[in-house]
Amino acid sequence: MKKLALLSVSDKTGLVELARTLIETFEFEIVSSGGTAQAIAAAGLPVTKVADFTGSPEILGGRVKTLHPRIHGGILGRPGLPADQADMAANHIRAFDLVVVNLYPFEATIAQPDVTLPQAIEKIDIGGPTMVRAAAKNHAYVTILFNPAQYAPYIQALTDGEGTVPQTFRADCARQAFWHTATYDQAIASYLTPDLTPDASETEADLPERWTLTGTRRQTLRYGENPHQPATWYQTGTVPTGWAAAELVQGKPLSYNNLVDLEAARRIISEFPANAPTAAVLKHTNPCGMAMADSLATAYERAFAADSISAFGGIVALNQPIDAATATAMTKTFLECIVAPGCDGEAQAILGKKGNLRVLLLADLLAGPKVAPKAIAGGVLVQTVDDAIDDPSQWTVPTERKPTTAELEELLFAWRVVKHVKSNAIVVTKDRTTLGVGAGQMNRVGAVDIALRQAGEAATGAFLASDGFFPFDDSVRTAAAKGIGAIVQPGGSKRDQDSIDAANELGLVMVMTGIRHFLH
């Protein structure tokens, strides 16, 4: 008796070629359903429809077609087991040697704008995952394929084995299949879980009781943070998003540290509106220079000049497409990576002269993860990302001196930047440009000293942002002594009044946001 294959796929890539080879070279019989059967028949190949094979018609608009004992008995039956052989013979069940199934495109559906819940629900596959899991469970007898990329290796294995597929091959396909269905179910569960953004009126975020994260290996990286650490880039979901969807226009493959820095760059540049040319230069996930200007080239030049020493070998993020002037400015020093939403032809030709420079185009700089996991011994910490929208109209001004509209806009710029600096964090700015950044210090006084020292004489009339409150008035007095005119900080210390009194004494503006932005 000929070998039997069940083919039921939503992705028709390579389907006809696979069916033809199975039939003409290896003498398989094909059982198929719906559009898959139509595609095979249209190619002039013999195929038995599932309804004819089972003797039961498709019902409920196609929702039920493969859920039948002759299908699942043929997948799960163990021809080497006498009891199974007897059951199969009594129920006129033939064993399948091959099951080829891929699932309804659920993730592609929910990725579409304005998709409705009923539309998404209809793309939840039931029969497909059931057949995949059944075949994977019975891989001692059955081969399961769920991806067109597996077709060629399977045919090669059949050829090498003269019609018999090695057990090791079937076991590997089964392992991949279980990961595939796990990822599929995880995508559905995540979609049906309420939005993870916490309600401002609640003390705890509405995080789910269960949390899982799965991914498919996209790239084996040369190493992790250091050469002795193995690392791999996994893509979450079957539809590429974020960095998996970015276009690497030029340069070497991305490294682990590149990707970590690029994500930090994406987060900070996403804070600034696309209609205001903005450039960020980062080093080790911290912004060493940040600027807004009337043109993208000017914004980059100011951001670079803010700390040109640290900018060497840095990461640049731009919130507008790269033009020729900006490209020319960026080729004057060594940079690791550039990311922007686009790049015109002239700019691309200019950047192309720096062959090792990695240039990425990411059309949507705003889209990012909703949650941020961090591994600890024996578990994982999960929090919602810090994507709170800062609204100056909700800020309070406890000092006698009040900010002008222009001063408030500068304080907002400084506040958006300090949010993305490692705590303890201090940022000094003027004219929408960073002058000094104090990052990752063990005490806030140290961070203030570093930022003011870097700003130098330019600190006179500048603005200072702190990601956390001042527990004492010493930092306020230090800032005033260097010429700082206005400070933005979250407030919330038991000794806030000491800082307010010092600001009033020294003639400073102090704004309190009521929200802190620690970044650990």
CA distance 223 to 229: 6
Burial label, 35 (beta-carbon count in 10 A; 0-12, 13-18, 19+) = middle
- DSSP bridge partners of 374: 381
Q: Is 137 a catalytic residue?
A: yes
* Separation of alpha carbons 66 and 103, rounded Å: 13
In the set 180, 252, 284, 520, the catalytic residue is: 284
What are the structure tokens assigned to 52, written together? Answer: 């004819």
DSSP state of 262: H
Collect all residues with Cβ–Cβ distance below 8 Å to 507 and sequence separation of at least 6: 401, 480
CB 166 within 8 A of CB 172: no
SS3 347: helix
225: its two tokens:
């943070």
Say which residue the tokens 């998709």 belong to. Answer: 115
User: Taking the CB of residue 508, how many other CB atoms lie within 10 A of it?
Assistant: 22
CA 70/CA 66 separation, integer angstroms? 9
Residue 251's region, left for phi above 0, alpha for psi from -120 to 50, else beta, is left
Side chain identity at 427, as an amino acid letter? V
Instruction: Please name the residue that has the structure tokens 């559009």.
Output: 35
Which residues, in sequence order, are CB contacts of 100 under 8 Å at separation 6+? Answer: 5, 6, 7, 8, 9, 18, 145, 146, 151
If one counts every other C-beta atom within 10 angstroms of the C-beta of residue 104, the result is 17
Q: How does strand 335-340 pair with strand 358-361? A: parallel
State the residue for tokens 């080879």.
21
Instruction: List residues bridging with 151 in a β-sheet.
Output: none
Tell me the DSSP string of 394-414.
Answer: G-B--SSSPPPHHHHHHHHHH
Q: Say how far apart CA 17 and CA 320 lie, in whole Å.
A: 45
CB-based contact 84:77 (threshold 8 Å):
yes
65 is catalytic: no
Which residues have CB under 8 Å from 467's CB, separation 6+?
418, 419, 421, 423, 424, 425, 426, 490, 516, 517, 518, 519
Q: Which residues are catalytic?
A: 137, 284
